[in-house]
Amino acid sequence: MDLVKTLRSVKDYDSALWLLLSPQDELVGAVVCNVLEFQSGYKVLLVQSGANAGAKISWANMRAVIRHFEDIAVASDCDAVRIVGRKGWGRVYSDFTEVSRTFDKVVRKGH
């Protein structure tokens, strides 16, 4: 997720940004969502999530957030909610079906 493009998209009202805070109000992660419509007419609410390494996140709270995304998707006339995140997030999104995988190959040292 490119931070500058993401923040510009939020500023332009094309995306929504949620910050995940610890009980001590420390930033531990973020979630960005926006509606994507494909040429076929299939429409999804795309949710991209990330968290700090070792972050303590309440999975019960995340499930409530996911229900909120589902409500947004219904209100936006979407066919589905599509979530992009690290493999471990699959434990939280247990009622979602994995439809694709992303592969990276590092080509520049230090990244």
Can you name the residues that pair with 16 across neighbouring β-strands?
Answer: 33
Q: Average pLDDT across each block of 10 residues of the chain; the chain has 111 residues. List them in order.
A: 69 78 82 89 85 69 82 93 78 78 73 52
Q: How far is CA 110 from the centre of its chain?
A: 26
Q: What is the DSSP letter of 79?
A: S
CA–CA separation, 111 and 106 (whole Å): 7
pTM of the complete model: 0.70
Query: Residue 16: its pLDDT value, please?
Result: 83
DSSP, collapsed to helix, strand or coil, labels residue 53 as coil
CA distances from 77 to 41, 45, 63 (A): 11, 9, 21
- CATH no. of 3-91: 3.40.630.30
List the chain domain ranges: 3-91
